[in-house]
Amino acid sequence: MHLSCKRSTSIIAVLAASLGLAAPSMLCQRTTSTKQAELKETSSVEPWWKHAVIYEIYPRSFQDSNGDGVGDLKGINSRLDYLKSLGIDAIWITPMYPSPQVDFGYDISNYEAVDPQYGTLNDMTRLIDHAKQREIRVVLDMVLNHTSDQHSWFLQAASSRTNPKHDWYVWSDGKSGTGPGSHEGRVPPNNWVSLFGGSAWEWVPAVHEYYYHEFYKQQPDLNWRNPAVEGAMFSTMRFWLDRGVAGFRLDAIPSLFEDIQLRDEAELGGTSAQGDPILARNYTDNLPEDHDVIRRLRAMIASYPGDRVLIGETYMPNTMELDKWYGGAAHDELQLAMDMLVGFSSKLDASTLRKYIDEAETELHGSQPLFVFNNHDNPRAIDRYGYGVHNEEIAKLLATILLTTQSTALMYQGEEIGMVTTPPARLQDVKDPIGISGWPKEKGRDGERTPMQWDDSANAGFSGANVNPWLPIPQSYKDHNVKVEASEPNSILNWYKQMIELRRTNPAIRDGLNIMLNADNPNVLSWLRQSPGQPAVVVVCNLTDQEQKISFDLSAQGIASKQVRTLMKTPGNVDPLSLDAVQLLPFSVYVGQAE
Ligand code: GLC
């Protein structure tokens, strides 16, 4: 689901609609490479995250170490060797802080501790330490937009108007009115709706005011116009930076500020799964003030050694909007802003993907793109891009896009073994509250949060055999699990491992420019990675269910020879004799070095 351009009926539908607005451009190969080369000259020594593969861990569903059916930090610790063998550079752990778990951790009641369900602070420091021994960095999730309504700040804020914490949240007297939703002759101040359904305003009798919540009502928004809020949140981040975390994934970062006048949003037409009108989000999202905070945050983390990183949850309608979160030409905001265009266009359409990949390389003022196809909020990419018949090939194809462009790669647990979205079949099984309020139109996010499939034993090795995991294990665990796939040379898991290794060791794939090839081909997406003094690499993806034959002329890139040597290919594809005739089976991939 998306949450910043936000899930309404189906966030994917909303995203697809917004993506569809942008017409694919014809790419000029020379312009692209020249522009990238200029941008590259301005970059200095490269920080660790530039070439990294970052792996998202949803701790509830990764590995249960104590048999309570919920994953935990000791469980993550026990799987570090697996993560090392996969070749990743960092893990991002979604919130593991104390929380009533209404939004499964995104409702934090204490930012400087660990939820007992997941372990202790000691477990966390041990995990950071053990990961470091394996050269794996730990990135934490930081929820700045809101706290839990059980956080002591909110409990104080909601106790009286004169409490010093009162102004830490966003309050309004509302307007006079009667009828449904009115309290003491007052109604909410405007038409804003929560992304999770219903009015975004909740009445608190003790203070005779409404507070604003972009998400669940148990997640009151902090008032970022109060400098004390910034002081407190920066201090919690220092707490973790001092304990060695490598940076933060900033949750819902475009939502920090709201319009000071609390103006009504325009209705865009249609209703959400929860029955709310779909609104513009001009007054609750992407306000200029958000950027001031990020700039100060960037300066704060820069005072720590080791290239600490700020990663933003940035669902944006186009690359130009995305660039703003990097600070544009000033490069003084996020180092990595999640690009949800390539990975969430959800259609194997060559011109759309080509356009987005190319723009990410050329329209971000040289900032580093961060592609992502999967996370804990959206149906898995294998299902969104898959056609059912060729899903294994499509999973490998998506992994190729993720891992062989210039982008930093963000992956989500389970994508490397081809885990599929498994939504609950019955309302009574739904755990995610939006799946309950939105059923059956919106089944919630349980389907992409099912436990990691480690082996083919009962409970897939996630929990002990006699345990009831918090979400059921999908049937696919029997043949899609780490153990089975590790022993199958052509598995999705081995494809990921080999691609990550290639990305790490091949100089052109690691450092080279990314030049889109054959830009008018509607069926085959291909690009060249080219680094001075190094053999160039062509990456070719057949996006159709038909065999394709394609030829390349690389003379514009200074490559006269047509000889090519296979680096990787989907099983079944033949080694081409020359770049004049590269033949591809349906949805297959070819990666070759121009000789
Ligand atoms: C982000 C998280 C999502 C959460 C929301 C509210 O979008 O990824 O899981 O529900 O923020 O914190």
Sequential DSSP letters for 391-425:
HHHHHHHHHHHHHHSSSEEEEETTGGGT------S
Report pLDDT for 332: 98
Distance, in Å, from the CA atom of 430 to the CA atom of 428, rounded to the nearest integer, reads 6
pLDDT tens readout for residues 426-448: 999 999 999 999 999 999 999 99
Question: pLDDT tens across 368-406, in order?
Answer: 999 999 999 999 999 999 988 999 999 999 999 999 999
Q: Is the CB of 106 under 6 A from ligand 1?
A: yes
For the Cβ of 448 lying below 6 angstroms from any atom of ligand 1, the answer is: no
Q: Ligand 1, from 215, 248, 313, 410: best to mutate by most atoms within 8 Å of Cβ?
A: 215
Rounded distance, CA 498 to CA 504, Å?
Answer: 10
Distance from C-alpha of 199 to C-alpha of 265, rounded to nearest angstrom = 13
Q: Is 416 in the pocket of ligand 1 (CB under 6 A)?
A: no
Q: Are residues 398 and 519 in the same domain?
A: no
Distance 253 CA to ligand 1 centre (A): 10
Same domain, 582 and 484: no
Round to whole Å and give the CA distance between 319 and 371. Answer: 12
Query: Residue 581 Cα, ligand 1 centroid: separation in angstroms?
Result: 47
Contact by Cβ (8 Å): 566, 575 = yes
Cα–Cα distances in angstroms (integers) from residue 461 to residues 67, 77, 130, 223, 565, in the given order: 11, 15, 22, 43, 40
Nearest to 105 by CA among 72, 74, 139: 72
CA distance 466 to 124: 27
**Percentage of the chain lying above the pLDDT 90 cut:** 92
**Residue 374 and residue 518 in one domain:** no
pLDDT for 438 equals: 95
Centre of ligand 1 to C-alpha 350, Å, is 30
The residue nearest atom 9 of ligand 1, judged by CA position, is: 377
Largest Cα–Cα distance in the chain?
Answer: 80
Looking at residue 39, what is its pLDDT? 60
- Centroid of ligand 1 to alpha carbon of 535 (angstroms): 43
Tokens standing for residue 264: 């009504």
Separation of CA 376 and ligand 1 centre (Å): 9
Q: How far is the CA of 106 from the centre of ligand 1 (A)?
A: 6
If asked whether residues 322 and 237 sit together in one domain, one would say yes
| 219 Cα to the center of ligand 1, angstroms | 11
How many residues are given for the chain? Answer: 595
pLDDT band of residue 40 (cuts 50, 70, 90) is: low
What pLDDT does 103 receive?
98
Q: Parallel, antiparallel, or unpaired for β 524-530 and 513-517?
A: antiparallel
Q: What's the pLDDT score for residue 34?
A: 65
- Amino acid type, 379: P
In a domain, 238, yes or no: yes
Residues 367 and 246 in one domain: yes
- Rounded Cα gap, residues 553 and 442, in angstroms: 48
State the pLDDT confidence band at 14, using cuts at 50, 70 and 90: very low
Q: What CATH number corresponds to the domain at position 298?
A: 3.20.20.80
What b/e string do you get for 429-441 counting C-beta neighbours within 10 Å, with b at 16 or more?
Answer: ebbbbbbbbbbee
| pLDDT, tens only, 81-118 | 999 999 999 999 999 999 999 999 999 999 999 999 99
Closest to 266 (Cα-Cα) out of 283, 291, 285, 249: 283
The secondary element (H helix, E strand) that includes residue 74 is helix 73-78
Residue 180: pLDDT band with limits 50, 70, 90: confident
- The pLDDT mean for the chain works out to 93
Model's pTM, two decimal places? Answer: 0.94
Atom from ligand 1 closest to the CA of residue 377: 9
Q: Would residue 160 count as lying in a domain?
A: no
Answer whether 107's CB lies under 8 Å from 100's CB. Answer: yes
| pLDDT exceeds 70 at position 12 | no
Question: Residues 6 or more apart from 402 whose CB is under 8 A from it?
Answer: 343, 371, 372, 373, 409, 411
Whether residue 338 has its Cβ less than 6 Å from ligand 1: no
Decide if 74 is inside a domain. Answer: yes
Same domain (yes/no): 532, 390 = no
215 lines ligand 1 (CB under 6 A): yes
Say if residue 28 is in the same domain as residue 74: yes
pLDDT digits (tens, 9 = 90+) for 300-350: 999 999 999 999 999 999 999 999 999 999 999 999 999 999 999 999 999
SS (H, E, C) 224-236: CCCHHHHHHHHHH
Quick check: CB of 250 below 6 Å from ligand 1?
A: no
Q: Helices 29-41 and 350-362, interaxial angle, to 10°?
A: 30
- Looking at residue 284, what is its pLDDT? 98
Burial class (CB in 10 A: 0-12, 13-18, 19+), 290: buried
Residue 196 CA: nearest ligand 1 atom is 10
Residue 438 shares a structural domain with residue 382? yes
Where a domain ends, among 493, 524, 556?
493
Distance of CA 187 from the midpoint of ligand 1 (Å): 27
In this structure, are 489 and 517 located in the same domain? no
Residue 506 has pLDDT above 50, yes or no: yes
CA-closest residue to ligand 1 atom 7: 3
Host H or E run for residue 541: strand 537-542
Indicate whether 41 pLDDT > 60: no
Contacts 24+ apart (CB under 8 A), 19-23: 19/317, 19/341, 19/344, 19/345, 19/352, 21/317, 22/317, 22/318, 22/355
Q: Is residue 277 part of a domain?
A: no
- Asked if the structure places residue 87 within a domain, the reply is yes
**Token pair 């569809």: residue:** 20
Domain end call among 447, 463, 493: 493
Crossing angle of the two packed helices 227-242 and 288-302, in degrees rounded to 10: 30
Tell me the sheet residues that pair with 541. Answer: 525, 589
**Taking 80 as the threshold, does the pLDDT of residue 76 lie above it?**
yes
Residue type, 516: M
- Count of structural domains within the chain: 2
Phi, psi (deg, nearest 5) at residue 203:
-80, 135
Q: Which of 322, 290, 252 is nearest to 94 (CA)?
A: 252
pLDDT bucket at 38, cuts 50 / 70 / 90: low
Task: Give which of 456, 470, 430 is closest to 69, Cα–Cα.
Answer: 470
Distance in Å, CA 107 to ligand 1 centroid: 9
* Nearest CA, atom 4, ligand 1: 106
Asked if residue 173 belongs to a domain, the reply is no
Residue in 99, 251, 410 to alter for ligand 1 test, most ligand atoms within 8 A of Cβ: 251
If asked whether residues 470 and 541 sit together in one domain, one would say no
Distance CA 529, CA 568 (A): 14
113 found inside a domain: yes
Q: What is the pLDDT of residue 5?
A: 37
Residue 26 has pLDDT above 50, yes or no: no
Two tokens, residue 18: 């917004």
Residue 181 has pLDDT above 90, yes or no: no
Quick check: 523 and 546 in contact, CB under 8 A? yes
Ligand 1 lined by 252 (C-beta under 6 Å): yes
Query: Ligand 1: does its nearest atom lie under 6 Å from the Cβ of 377?
Result: yes
Is the minimum distance from the CB of 118 to ligand 1 under 6 angstroms? no
Indicate if 74 and 103 belong to the same structural domain: yes
- Cα–Cα distance measured from residue 553 to residue 542, given in angstroms and rounded to the nearest whole number: 18
Task: Supply the residue whose CA is at minimum distance from atom 2 of ligand 1.
Answer: 251
**Ligand 1 atom index nearest CA of 445:** 9
- CATH code of residue 538: 2.60.40.1180
Residue 523 and residue 448 in one domain: no
pLDDT band at 23 (very low <50, low <70, confident <90, very high): very low
Q: Is 103 in the pocket of ligand 1 (CB under 6 A)?
A: yes
**Any idea which residues carry the catalytic annotation?**
251, 313
Pairing of strands 171-172, 175-176: unpaired
Task: Print the domain residue range for 568.
Answer: 512-594
Q: Which of 439, 460, 493 is the last residue of a domain?
A: 493
Cβ–Cβ < 8 Å for 11, 2: yes
pLDDT band at 269; cut points 50, 70, 90: very high
Instruction: Judge if the beta carbon of residue 143 lies within 6 A of ligand 1.
Output: yes
- 45 burial level (CB within 10 Å; 0-12, 13-18, 19+): exposed
DSSP strand pairing (564-569 vs 589-594): antiparallel
- Using CA atoms, how far residue 62 sits from 57, 412, 458, 545, in Å, is 7, 11, 15, 34
Instruction: Indicate whether 50 belongs to any domain.
Output: yes
What is the atom index within ligand 1 of the atom nearest the CA of 2? 7
In angstroms, the CA 563 to CA 578 distance is 5
The Cα 242–Cα 324 span in angstroms is 29
Q: What is the pLDDT of residue 146?
A: 98
